Amino acid sequence: MGDYPSGKQLADKFGKKARDGSNGAADLLGQFADELRRKADLFQQAKKNYRATDEQIADDLGRSTQ
C-alpha cells in the first residue's frame, strides 16, 4: 500500500480485521485448517479399519475353502 500514511492506515486496518477474534479471516482459516486435519485423521483411521476388515474377510474366506 506504499509509504503514504493512508496506505499504512489501510494496511493496519486490514491486518486488524484479519486477526479480529473469531470473525477474522486468519482465525477462520485456522479453524478450517484444524477441521481439515481432523477429517484427514478420520479418513486415515477409516482406511486402516477397512484394510483390517478386508484382511479378516480374506482370511475367513481362505479358511472356508480349505
pLDDT tens digits for range 11-60: 888 888 878 776 788 888 889 999 999 999 999 999 999 999 999 999 99
- Print the domain residue range for 46: 7-65
Q: What's the domain count of the chain?
A: 1
Amino acid at 19: R
Take residue 39 and report the three cell numbers written for it. 477429517
**Contact at 8 Å (CB) between 30 and 21?**
no
1 falls within a domain: no
24 falls within a domain: yes
pLDDT at 7 exceeding the cut of 80? yes
11 falls within a domain: yes
Q: CA nearest 15: which of 2, 26, 4? A: 26
2 falls within a domain: no
Q: What is the pTM assigned to this prediction?
A: 0.57
Q: What is the pLDDT of residue 1?
A: 59
Annotate the chain with DSSP letters as a single string: --SSHHHHHHHHHHHHHHTSGGGSHHHHHHHHHHHHHHHHHHHHHHHHHHHHHHHHHHHHHHHHT-
